[in-house]
Amino acid sequence: MIQQIEFSLPEYPYGFHLVTEEVLKYVGTLPEQGILNLFIKHTSAGITLNENADPTVLSDFRTFFTDWIPENYRKFEHTYEGPDDMPAHIKASVIGQSLTIPISRHRLNLGTWQGIYLGEFRYSGGRRKFVATLMY
């Protein structure tokens, strides 16, 4: 069986945000076993899995990506949507737009310290739209 759920998360500020619990609220009760595919419908935000316990990981991610792919890079041509737009597209491509997570015993079968991150790469990205596909 396949079930799809579309939802939006509230607007987040620029940076990385742990959203595992919010995603689960929208997805609802998980099957005994299966797979969750989570897809973000944007080109300037991404999703990934990483450390869910220490909040400094979130700020270190932000620091690294801001330093690695800076705004106002003089060689960017796509600049008409603001200085954060082209860097946001690159950061989103690096992070990715989907995750596939196994489901076991009605829970996401994540590692002990893993959580779902939203990488918000615009200063005013707005609400972000997702598609969750449950396969069981």
pLDDT of 80 higher than 90 = no
Residue 9 to residue 46: CA distance in whole angstroms? 13
Query: Could you give the 3-state DSSP secondary structure of residue 52?
Result: coil
C-alpha neighbours within 13 Å on the C-beta side of residue 40:
25
Cβ(48)–Cβ(99) under 8 Å? Answer: yes
* Pair type for strands 33-40 and 2-9: unpaired
pLDDT tens digits, 21-65 = 999 999 999 999 999 999 999 999 999 999 999 999 999 999 999
pLDDT digits (tens, 9 = 90+) for 89-100: 999 999 999 999
Q: Give the Cα separation of 65 and 103 in Å (integer).
A: 30
User: Does 72 have pLDDT greater than 90?
Assistant: no
